[in-house]
Amino acid sequence: MPEPRSDNRRMLSDRFVAALGAIRCPRFVDALFLSVVLAGAGAAPSAAQTLPPSVEAALARAKVPRDAVTLLVADAEGVQPPRLAWRSQVPMNPASVMKLVTTYAALDILGPAFTWRTPVYTDGAVRNGVLEGNLYIQGQGDPTLVLERLWLMLRRVQGLGIHTIAGDIVIDRSAFDVPDTSPDAFDGEGLRPYNAAPDALLVNFKSVVMTFTPDRVSRTARVNFEPYLAGVTTQGTVPLSDGPCGDWRALLDAGLTDPARMGFAGSYPAACGEKTWSVAYADPRAYAGRAIAGLWAEMGARLKGQVREGNVPAGLTPAFEIESPPLAEVIRDINKFSNNVMAQQVFLTLGLEQKKRGSVDSSRTALRQWWNNRIGTGEGQPVFDNGSGLSRDGRVTAGELAKMLQVAWRSPVMSELMSSLPAFGVDGTLRKRTLRSGGAAHLKTGSLRDVAGVAGFVDGASGRRYVVVAIANHANAGAARPAFDALVDWATRD
């Protein structure tokens, strides 16, 4: 199963990562450093034949054979051969570790201050609070259009003096050219928010947050659904039950596959206290329209027409635009909490910005050209697929990924990339993992069925910084995480 994801409802907080002033080396110098540092990685020097005892023992306990993992520890500065290189030129499925490639490429190509703009148009006059025409919302791939920001958008519409729309609300999704796919296509878990598909107008990650609050007096739990989706019937209460909390989701016996109704046939254990449950809406294509119509109604406004899809007519000038947080903030949510759909939004934006077409093919082409120019054209080139790592087809070698991390270390956006990664034992997907040495590491994690991995930067006790890559492709891959922690711990003890 994929690794735990962020609460998709979580509002993006204001934050700014200051650049540390790292100076970009000329590209021929980058290439020289990389050729020196990793010259021996593919040949598996004698030092690479022996794994650290703690790593070897942890792999044995996990029942993961040595030939199912790739391990690399190399100097981030690019001045010494790797400390460890085990099967470092073997292509592996990296799972969400692939987000490192997408987010660093975006920082390097678009810049950390890049923002997404969502223009809003009107095609009629406003008289006595009535827009005598249509309202158009043109999605441009913003990954951060959560419920709170959608409310601010609609509040600005009201600020134009509009309280009734006589025509329609038209959603323009044309910026992204992506086919509709079944939410169940990847792993049969279509109601899991991590399976949300990218969308030019991605609203609130296409998810619904249900909050259950027990009321022992009435012997029911109140259920709050957020956001309110127009045309969807929801169940306001569910009976309370006694006994331990346990698998409370299963006890609810939820019915969530009908796009017109969300309800429960079971009960909610009083012992659970208040709980929240995030689910993907059963009809993802209709989610944005239902959410916009529902919020517009909750704001006391009227829509006489309908919400529908369409294109903005040529020649219209935006009434206003809303702007996303900068890319440097966006990638923190992507990497620290491994948000798949946000990563895919960034991936498609690369194609839209570089090739003027927000499609998977154009984005792969843009990313491939960047990789060839920035990292190199040698063997072991990545298979990017959708850029998020939620893929069975993505591939990268530890050696090539380490090259990229070394280039990133010497780049002006190093500080933004590093600060976006989970800090070992501190936050994100590494919050509950600790190092025996007490050392520090910033690593992107990855997890799928049969895949586990970490990659990023580790601080050695000597003051030197290392790039570390560790990936397992095996039926017991999840059990290899202690071995990866042991590798990181070993890397700190230099």
pLDDT at 50: 87
Cα separation of 293 and 231, whole Å? 9
User: Is residue 109 classed as helix, strand or coil in its secondary structure?
Assistant: helix
Average pLDDT value for residue range 474-487: 97
Strands across the sheet containing 233-234: 233-234, 261-264, 254-255
Least trusted range by pLDDT, from 41-55, 85-99, 136-150, 385-399: 41-55
Query: What is the per-residue pLDDT for 119?
Result: 98
pLDDT of residue 49: 66
- Residue 378: pLDDT band with limits 50, 70, 90: confident
Question: Among 135-144, 178-187, 478-487, whose mean pLDDT is lowest?
Answer: 178-187
At residue 15, does pLDDT exceed 60?
Answer: no
Query: Which residues are 130's β-sheet partners?
Result: 127, 164
- Model pLDDT, residue 37: 41
Report how far residue 460's alpha carbon sits from residue 455's, in angstroms, rounded to the nearest whole number: 15
Under a CB-based contact definition with an 8 Å cutoff, are residues 238 and 266 in contact? yes
* Domains of the chain with CATH codes: 27-113+326-492 (3.40.710.10), 116-324 (3.50.80.20)
Q: What is the pLDDT of residue 439?
A: 84
Query: What are the distances in angstroms from CA 435 to CA 415, 425, 441?
Result: 23, 8, 9
Percent helix, strand, coil in the chain, to 5, is 35, 20, 45
DSSP-based three-state secondary structure for 77:
coil
Work out the pLDDT band at 21, boundaries 50, 70, 90: very low
pLDDT at 137: 98
Which pLDDT value is given to residue 435?
85
* Percent of the chain whose predicted confidence (pLDDT) is above 70: 90
* Cα→Cα distances 91→334, 452, 478, Å: 24, 14, 19
- How far apart (Å, rounded) are the C-alpha atoms in residues 139 and 136? 10
Q: Residue 23 — very low, low, confident or very high, per pLDDT cuts 50/70/90? A: very low
Whether the per-residue pLDDT at 107 is higher than 70: the answer is: yes
- Mean of per-residue pLDDT scores for the chain: 91
DSSP state of 94: -
pLDDT band at residue 379 under the 50/70/90 scheme:
confident
pLDDT confidence tier of residue 172, bands split at 50, 70 and 90: very high
Taking alpha carbons only, the member of 408, 381, 402, 390 closest to residue 454 is 402
Residue 116 has pLDDT above 60, yes or no: yes
C-beta atoms surrounding 240 within 10 Å: 19
Enter the tokens of residue 355: 């090739």
**84/290 Cα distance (integer angstroms):** 53
pLDDT in tens, 398-411: 999 999 999 999 99
Q: pLDDT by residue (tens digit) across 418-443?
A: 999 999 999 999 999 988 888 899 99
What are the tokens at 456?
Answer: 């990023």
What is the distance in angstroms between the CA of the first residue and the CA of the last residue of the chain?
A: 34
Instruction: Tell me how far apart the alpha carbons of residues 211 and 474 are, in angstroms, rounded to a whole number.
Output: 37
pLDDT, one tens digit per residue, over 326-361 is: 999 999 999 999 999 999 999 999 999 999 999 999
Supply the pLDDT for residue 111. Answer: 98
| Percent of the chain predicted with pLDDT > 90 | 85
